Amino acid sequence: MIIKNLLERKLYFFVAISISISITIGSLISIKNIIELPSVPYFDKFLHASAYYLLTFSWLFALKKSFKLKNKFILVLIIIFIYGIIIEVLQASLTTYRQADLYDVFANLGGIGIAYVIFNLIFQRN
């Protein structure tokens, strides 16, 4: 039972880290040559919100047994939000094909907030 729990926790951390790396790479490479995004208005913002929802939910789930206090979950949310801002700054400073966008930061924040609310509804944290 102990080994099973350790393997599950490591799997959850592996998934959260993999999602983090994927978002970092996806945010800093030029995706126009890889995939063509639909020309739906604000589709990019939907992608940001979805990615940060998935990122936040995966980290909250991976850390749910480690944290007993709500304040520590809030710290995770703040770290993910700062991560999103750092990614936007890196897009502006390291790439010529990506640009920083304040609305992307708001979309990220929306995804983070939705993940936190749904996580609390599922796991009934107060």
Question: Could you list the mean pLDDT of each consecutive 10-residue stretch along the chain, which spans 126 residues?
Answer: 65 93 90 68 88 96 76 89 96 86 95 95 74
The pLDDT of residue 72:
82
For 38, the token pair is: 């639909």
Residue identified by tokens 């609305």 is: 103
The pLDDT of residue 1:
62
CA distance 37 to 65: 38
Its pTM stands at 0.85
- Domain-by-domain residue ranges, the chain? 2-123
